[in-house]
Structure 1
């Protein structure tokens, strides 16, 4: 037995680990107590820097310690030479921390701060550091973000960065971080405010590049996500879509993304601004529907010569409609959409359809096919799109609810396009029929703002009642057979007169009473075939209303 190394038992090893862990915890508690006390006493000495350095080398994600180190740097009166040396030491500390934890938010943030404090920062050297880190892990998005920061400071051109991203992508199509970085560079160089994110010529080149990548490795998600960015609608300007102004009310609907909050919005009659208070629906800063109800009716509106709305810096002139007895504005650009690269998109669609036949279980090919068909012509490919969604729900069953929501979105868009195409220039359609379609969401609900009669029976909208806040013009709403169990999140619709909730799962008399109290114009409420225990007379006893309530008698 002599001369043999003694092997510790499992119990002994566990005991040693426990003692080591207890010692580390005790040391941490002692160190953190000293650090916080010094911070409280505003003692920014070398001991504080030494202790926090030791702690950060053990765990660089304790962002409070980095904050304290910055406070120490800022509150001490260092000589220029000492301060410069301390910053160099801090750079070395962040490098050592990054070796252990290259994806630490706190460390990268600290390095940005250090570089901005340096009197003569070496940005080129930082680029070399980024290259080194990306060679180790090309998907380190923290490093990609830091590179973008360094590039701006170093004055590196977008063209150089574009070439850098191209090199990285060609080396490895699976580099998602590089695809994402590329999208940001491209938007800076070639961004548009149209239906596509970048100008047409570059857009075509990127479509070809990404298709090559997706066919090289159809099961890798990186290029597919970039493909989605290319195909998604990319309207970024805030513009007016519909407006209606009569003597009592002004209704405006803003289309596309609202980038500036709050939105600057004014109504003018005969070149004079009208003093109004806009109410947002829903009540949030991103709301696209805004309504003003005039305390004093605009009696001179019928004889006005000019009515216009100023949204941000753009003026939109309204026209008087005899049909609506109101001044209206309509943007019909969605009806006349035409892609200059439809031929290329059709070729891509054929290619992805072939890929789907070769790899029938590849969800990305099917999903991209849907996006392509929607972009080319939703009406033409409507049935094919629905078939693809059905196939996707089977292939990728874990995300079937996502595909249901996507199906709802496309069904609604299709129906809206049909309605808009049937309108005259001086008419706003007041009715929409969407029964029995299996809708799970009321997508694009700001487009429902002008409908007075809304039929949504036999859908699956039980969890989407909050989206109905934009139906402020609705007088008749039909939500029978939607599996609704509660009215807690149903918004107040000021013009609602007839409301059908037949054949749902409502049980709360209190919620029904609250609904009736909030809707002063309600004339008829159909609650038949709901499991409500209380008979009609008990509900009416709590109300003073002209509303006629229909309940199934027990």
Structure 2
């Protein structure tokens, strides 16, 4: 009827959108063809710049066009001869202004942020303070945009913004919205610099104990505000030390001119000096010919041989392993000695430790947080983050005392959070193996035999490098296939 807007049917609307899309694709292909043609003929002129602008303002993620614009800028700045500095700056300012327009189209465009970095790096007079303010403006619009946070770290460094100022900014953003992964992450990068740990505990803690206690208190408040939000729980997990272990020596064994050296993380063993010295510091044995146990460039387990003719039976019982590697500080490790009918065996073993060793006020705070989590579980017994954090707190306080109880929490998590059942199963396996290795450290069977047959809950073997010094490893039946792992085949099989 007259005067009424016709309502399109679904089919009509679909056809209209299809025609619009066809026209857009046709225009895009024509523009790209012209740009490629002009680029091949080195016609880096204003027309080409205009063509790239038309496309990028609709889709800022066309990497080729940003490369073309950079070629244009380089060409333009080389040919500018009148008031070169001012004219050059004007060219870069145009690029900065254009990239801002593209960020309004897509504030998470990798290409646009990268182009902005490039523009500032090449600009004769970059205004880094303005860029920091721009980040603050963008983070008001979306405080969780990790692209903006990454860019802020870059420009804040260039503008010499103090770390304390950045930490205060993080605190402000977290208070405004606890569910801000990027802000928590930014915080984790600043705290070790502002509040470095100066103690001797290993693994080395992220920050001083006083500041750590403050952070634990703050993150618990955030976590309890919304127990189902994961951001604060993840940050707390970092505070507790659940992250990749630092590179360190975890095991060593020498017997009958053969040596095995194991590390916590894979390492390329080059320019290494490994030797044995006696109590007076006299070098007794020098090792060489190091080869990867798994024939890889980087490995956790390396096999070497003595370059001397000494037999182990002729050596003193007390020897010190001296290791000099560029990636870690020079280490001197006291070796233990055990004898059999034929040879002496020298070994070093440090069981895996995935958490920090806490003391004093921090332990008291952790115990308080565990009690708070357990209280929360009385009201929300199936809160997966509270269950997981309770188990992690137990491990941080005393992994030996809370071993069985923490495994019960993980077992419940497999039921509550079924989609991640295998993740929790692997976590339990790690904890069980850690306890077995810790018990092995103080047993009479090290390094001859490691019996894991009673650890029926093991579903995988983690830390195989720690097992490389054992002569014999007895696995539960469900892991019989793991014997294919080189480090589990026994010390005798590891030969350079």
TM-score by length of 1: 0.78
In 1, are the aligned partners of 2:269 and 2:290 still within 8 Å (CA)?
no
Residue 425 (structure 2) aligned to one of 391, 401, 404: 404
In 2, are the aligned partners of 1:432 and 1:451 still within 8 Å (CA)?
no
Residue 443 (structure 1) aligned to one of 446, 459, 462: 462
In 2, are the aligned partners of 1:420 and 1:429 still within 8 Å (CA)?
no
Secondary structure in structure 1 of the residue aligned to 2:94: helix
In 2, are the aligned partners of 1:436 and 1:459 still within 8 Å (CA)?
no
Residue 280 (structure 1) aligned to one of 280, 292, 295: 292
Residue 158 (structure 2) aligned to one of 150, 153, 161: 153
Whether 2:450 is the aligned partner of 1:419: answer: no
Secondary structure in structure 2 of the residue aligned to 1:116: helix
Question: Which residue of structure 2 aligns with residue 298 of structure 1?
Answer: 309
Whether 2:338 is the aligned partner of 1:316: answer: no
Secondary structure in structure 1 of the residue aligned to 2:332: strand
Shift of 1:210: 0.6
CA distance in 2, matches of 1:128, 1:383: 52
Question: Which residue of structure 1 aligns with residue 488 of structure 2?
Answer: 471
Secondary structure in structure 1 of the residue aligned to 2:289: coil
Structure 1 stretch displaced more, 308-317 or 272-281: 272-281
Q: Root-mean-square deviation (CA), in Å?
A: 2.9
Question: Which residue of structure 1 aligns with residue 58 of structure 2?
Answer: 58
Change (3 A) 1:261 1:124: farther
Whether 2:112 is the aligned partner of 1:107: answer: yes
Structure 1 stretch displaced more, 61-70 or 388-397: 61-70
Shift of 1:465: 6.3
CA distance in 2, matches of 1:334, 1:437: 22
Shift of 1:336: 13
CA distance in 2, matches of 1:25, 1:78: 35
CA distance in 2, matches of 1:189, 1:151: 15
Consecutive aligned runs of 4 or more in structure 1 exceeding 6 Å deviation: 332-337
Residue 223 (structure 2) aligned to one of 214, 225, 231: 214
Whether 2:135 is the aligned partner of 1:130: answer: yes
Shift of 1:242: 2.5
Change (3 A) 1:183 1:315: closer
Residue 258 (structure 2) aligned to one of 249, 269, 283: 249
Where does 1:12-411 land on structure 2 (aligned, <5 Å)?
A: 12-76=12-76, 77-79=78-80, 80=84, 81-192=86-197, 194-233=203-242, 237-255=246-264, 257=265, 261-262=268-269, 264-268=271-275, 271=283, 274=286, 276-293=288-305, 298-299=309-310, 302-303=313-314, 308-312=321-325, 313-317=329-333, 319=335, 321-323=337-339, 325-331=344-350, 338-340=357-359, 341-411=362-432
CA distance in 2, matches of 1:14, 1:334: 60
Change (3 A) 1:317 1:225: closer
Change (3 A) 1:248 1:472: farther
State the Cα deviation string for residues 116-169 of structure 1 (Å, max 9, x = none): 122111112111111111111111010000000011000011111111111111
Question: Which residue of structure 1 aligns with residue 279 of structure 2?
Answer: none
Change (3 A) 1:86 1:262: farther
Larger RCO (alpha carbons 8 Å, 6+ apart): 2
Secondary structure in structure 2 of the residue aligned to 1:129: helix
Structure 1 stretch displaced more, 227-236 or 354-363: 227-236
TM-score by length of 2: 0.86
Change (3 A) 1:359 1:288: same
CA distance in 1, matches of 2:405, 2:323: 41
In 1, are the aligned partners of 2:203 and 2:355 still within 8 Å (CA)?
no
Structure 1 stretch displaced more, 353-362 or 81-90: 81-90
Secondary structure in structure 1 of the residue aligned to 2:473: strand
In 2, are the aligned partners of 1:195 and 1:233 still within 8 Å (CA)?
no
Q: Number of paired residues?
A: 471
In 2, are the aligned partners of 1:247 and 1:299 still within 8 Å (CA)?
no
Question: Which residue of structure 2 aligns with residue 433 of structure 1?
Answer: 452
